[in-house]
Amino acid sequence: MDKKGIIHFTNTPKDHRFKLYIREGKETLGKKNHTLYDQLILKYSRKHQVDFALIKAIIRAESGFDPQAVSRKGAKGLMQLMPETAQRMKVTDAFNPRDNIDGGVRYFKYLLNLFDDDIKLSLAAYNAGENCVVQRGSIPPYPETVNYVKKVLNFYQSYKH
């Protein structure tokens, strides 16, 4: 709501005053979208030696398979790469599925190495930031992060079967 009392809606918030009203897409996507990026996920999960089902679960939780997704914090693309992470992983176009998945899988592999292959800590770091998890030595007690880890692990179990 602006100073004049006018309510504004957007699917690309650029101001912290915007509040989530309706989440688009994520859980309402058809099965076709759930398999659309399987070949890319397979390619980069093999290349970087990370479980295909785990990467697919991360993508589902992060963007609901929407390559144009943008979070309110500025994360972009299928794996919701923050601009700093994208730059660190040399991803020039975070909306390009190939670049995004390659960079996201490389970053997740880095986290797995950092946390001695502890999937839960690596997922927490992917969500809350690696420094936060390193400092705590555990999953931060943020509801968003705790729920994120559970959600990804549930998706992971379903994709493994």
Separation between Cα atoms, residue 104 and residue 126, nearest integer Å? 9
CA gyration radius, the chain = 16
Domains of the chain in start order, with CATH, are: 26-160 (1.10.530.10)
Residue 48 near residue 109, CB atoms below 8 Å: yes
Over the stretch 93-140, which tens digit does the pLDDT of each residue have?
Answer: 999 999 999 999 999 999 999 999 999 999 999 999 999 999 999 999
Q: Is 130 a known active-site residue?
A: no
> Which one from 24, 27, 62, 144 is the annotated catalytic residue?
62
- Considering the entire predicted model, what is its pTM? 0.81
- Per-residue 3-state assignment (H helix, E strand, C coil) for 132-158: HHHHHCCCCCCHHHHHHHHHHHHHHHH
